[in-house]
Amino acid sequence: MTHHVILRVVSKFLIPLIALFAFYVQFHGDYGPGGGFQAGVILAASVILYALIFGLEEAKKSIPPTWVRVGMALGVLLYGGTGVATWLLGGAFLDYDVLAHDAAHGQHHGILAVELGVLLAVSSVMVTIFYAFGSRQPDLTDEDW
Amino acid sequence: MLGTVFDNYHYAVVIILMMTGLYTVFASGNLIKKLVGLSVFQTSVFLMYITIGKVMDAQPPILEKAKDYALNVSGNYTAAAGESGGGGYQFVTDIAYSNPLPHVLILTAIVVGVATLAIGLALVVRIREVYGTIEEDEISAIDYGYNLEGTSR
Amino acid sequence: MDILPAYPAWLIEHGAALAVVLPLLTGAVCAVLRSERAAWIVTLIVTGACAVVSFGVLLTIFAGEVQIYEMGGWEPPYGIAYVIDGLNAPVLFLISAIAFIGTLYGIPSVTAEVEPGKRAPFYGAFLLCVAGLLGMVVTGDAFNVFVFLEVSSISTYVLVAMGASRDRRALAAACRYLILGSIGATLFVVGVGCLYMETGTLNMLDMSRILSEIGGGSRVALVGFGFIVIGLGLKLAMFPLHLWLPGAYAHAPSFVTVFLASTATKAALYLLLRFMFVVFDPSFEYDTAIITYVITTVAVAGMLLASLQAVYQTDARRTLAYSSIAQVGYMLLGIGMATAAGLSAGYLHLINHALIKGALFLALGAFWYRYGIMRVLDFRGLGQIMPWTMGAFTLGGLSLIGVPFTAGFVSKYNLAMAAAANGWWWAVGVIMAASVLAIIYMGRMLLVAYFQPPPEVDGEAVAKNEAPLLMLVPMWVLAGLSILIGINADWIVHAADGAAMVLTAGGGVRP
């Protein structure tokens, strides 16, 4: 791991920025274009870039596949759980109005929780797909680059 | 005649893409090429939805806050305090907005398309591991031999 | 017997959403579970709960209500509404009940056919498939139909491919199914797009209102109709579009084949009915033209040619798969008549065929489980070595042929009567001819099973070895039901007539 110094240095600098941008897209989704889908893909892109530069094994060490699998389920559960919560509070499925004291705040809380679920699910699925395909190939040796 | 075509050029693009994709799916024996064709085919539909959402001379569908002088124009929507979370903003509604609904639908369809593609590629990887080829006619030939092997017992 | 008051009110009120959401969420949980036994128990509980809920909903529909559930509290046509009426309530119950019965069968079958590490995710994918099919049936929003169609299809591709650990041809079959299935779903969504251009709404009831106000609409609606019919035709294995079906049925794990054969094509057929008779109305010229000329032709071709292909298959599951395509032809023939009696008979055959094919494929799975038998030639002596399993298979087979006092007889008789009442005497002949072909392909299996001695291993006849109880119970429930319907069909004909009433409500169908 002594080659491509430039690649490694630049990506080390870029990866946190990409992740940060993902969160910007996520939370700015309330006010402008953005939201869980896009943010999830961007977040996954930062992990995938890391895996591309430092190798799949390194990436799997920092983000274990088990976490990612749990993340998938957790994302769906967060989305569905919001719906179940609205049921328990007496509304229809995913009727955010009942989540807070007034409808506007309820909608706000509801969409926040749901988009978080989407972020978690989408980014985990993307990383899982990459792991699944990546681990099918023998790792490139340093010289093959 | 030609004018109609140029006025509706986006439909022409959609149709060309759709037929290209469909032709690729049917004409090529390589499974990866088939999946590429399938993606092109699906993309044409995304394009169709997105183009029908566009309204001529309309702006993106984000509510414009009303200026002070625009407050009294009739037809303006006056948001009640607390509603829409804006603390009593007033919005102009007599401008033409593009239709956001098709975009939202297509976001879903794109995700579905990605999922299909991922499953398809995963299947092709497995097929390649098991059969050693991704050409459909070769796979059929191998399967045919396998079937005959069973019956000659 | 009045069970409805035993249901809590909220269960019925949220029933439509509950039936979809429960399997969707637990499917995600199952995908990460480690223990296959835990995943099986979760699946059993959830599918059981879905069956209970949808039975309650079915009872309220029989009491004459129409349920409209507003997702997220947004009123239709702005929000997505789930609409349950006489047309989809029986299909809803059918799917969830078959899922429950199939899950019982899962423990022995999945343990035998799927790799150990993949069994818990297998149940997860199965639950997602159930959720997708239930969602397809229950939703009243045209685009939502597409989403659920894809949820169920994508999980089906995975389920079919899981058969690879037993038979590698499952991979090629799944890949072919994926390509054709995606084309079908995409064509469907093009059709929905055309309808949206024409009407400006996605809510099916709203669409139907607007379309009838503008008298069927312009060429855009016509094009949309064509796309929807072809797209759904691919999904329901309408005759020339059936190429994915035999491979997928023959090589998938038997648990999956049972579920697919008895529900997946049925849900797509329900959608075809919904679009042809409720969203579009037969009073539109193009709708009637396609129903009378295209659907009927395709139905007749499917009944005869697919039955003929079934006769020549060596693999038992392939025989039954081709027979399924032929049976879809019967249902389409009922639709093609476009009379209330024909629709009712077609709908009846939809339900009966689900029960019959379920029982048959369950029995085939048991044969494979005990002896690894897939070819018809190997059925020798099964009547003696697995008498109970073969008994259920025989009942199912007789019902498929249409022997009196079986479910198949009831629906074929109703279909023939409807054809005669419509003046289509040739259709009666076609039904007879297809039934004769069914006698040949089913009779071939039964003859081998009962009139040939069991194979000998080392000079001794193979010992009697019955399928485990968890396999026997589901297949006898389904086989018994098909006999029960054959003896007293009033209740199920009542359900089919209710569905036909919804279909004819638009006024374009002759009574």
The rounded distance, in Å, linking the Cα atoms of C468 and C104 is 11
Q: First CA to last CA across chain B, in angstroms? A: 66
Look at residue B81 in the predicted model and tell me its pLDDT.
37
Q: What percent of chain C has pLDDT over 90?
A: 51
Contact A92 C28 (CB under 8 A): no
C233's tokens: 């035709």
Instruction: Choose among B85, B125, B129: nearest Cβ to A133.
Output: B125
Output the pTM of the full model. 0.91
Q: Is residue C159 very low, low, confident or very high in pLDDT (cuts 50, 70, 90)?
A: very high
Q: What is the mean pLDDT of chain A?
A: 85
Burial class (CB in 10 A: 0-12, 13-18, 19+), B83: middle
The domain limits of chain B are 2-56+112-151
Phi, psi (rounded to 5 degrees) for B30: -80, 125
pLDDT tens-digit series, residues C86-143: 898 999 999 999 999 989 888 888 888 888 888 888 999 999 999 999 999 999 999 9
Q: Cis bond leading into C474, ω under 30°?
A: no
List residues bridging with C220 in a β-sheet: none
Angle between helices C219-235 and C265-273 (to 10 degrees): 160
Contact B126 C171 (CB under 8 A): yes
Q: Interior CA angle at A114 toward A112 and A119, to 5°? A: 90
DSSP C117: G
The dotted CATH code for B2-56+112-151 is: 1.10.287.3510
Contact C175 B123 (CB under 8 A): yes
Q: What is the largest CA-CA distance in chain C?
A: 77
Neighbouring CB atoms inside 10 A of A12's CB total: 12
The domain limits of chain A are 5-144
Instruction: Choose among B82, B121, B122: nearest Cβ to A102.
Output: B82
pLDDT tens-digit series, residues C377-397: 888 888 888 889 999 999 999
The rounded distance, in Å, linking the Cα atoms of A15 and A4 is 16
Instruction: Choose among C172, C178, C183: nearest Cβ to B120.
Output: C178
Look at residue B77 in the predicted model and tell me its pLDDT.
44
Q: Give the burial string for B20-53 (b: 16+ CB within 10 Å, else e).
A: ebbebbeeeebbebbbbbbbbbbbbbbbbbbebb
**Rounded average pLDDT over C218-227:** 91
Q: What percent of chain A has pLDDT over 70?
A: 92
**Rounded average pLDDT over C52-57:** 91
Are the C-beta atoms of C115 and C99 separated by less than 8 Å?
no
Which chain B residues touch A105 with a CB distance below 8 Å? 85
Residue among C193, C191, C181 nearest C152 (CA): C181
**Residues with Cβ < 8 Å from A45, sequence gap 6 or more?**
A18, A22, A126
3-state helix, strand, coil in chain B (%, to 5): 65, 5, 25
pLDDT for residue C438 is more than 90 = yes
Question: Quick one: three-class SS letters along C460-497?
Answer: EECCCCCCCHHHHHHHHHHHHHHHHHHHCCHHHHHHHH
C375: helix, coil or strand? Answer: strand
Residue C23: closest C-alpha in chain A: A80
Q: What is the pLDDT along chain A (145 residues), one digit of tens a residue?
A: 567 888 889 999 999 999 999 999 998 877 777 788 889 999 999 999 999 888 888 888 988 988 998 998 899 999 988 988 888 888 888 888 888 877 778 888 888 888 999 999 999 999 998 888 887 765 556 566 5
Which chain A residues touch B84 with a CB distance below 8 Å? 104
Contact A104 B85 (CB under 8 A): yes
CA distance B37 to chain A (A): 21
Residue among C443, C440, C413, C442 nearest C428 (CA): C413
Q: Interior CA angle at C426 toward C424 and C427, to 5°? A: 70
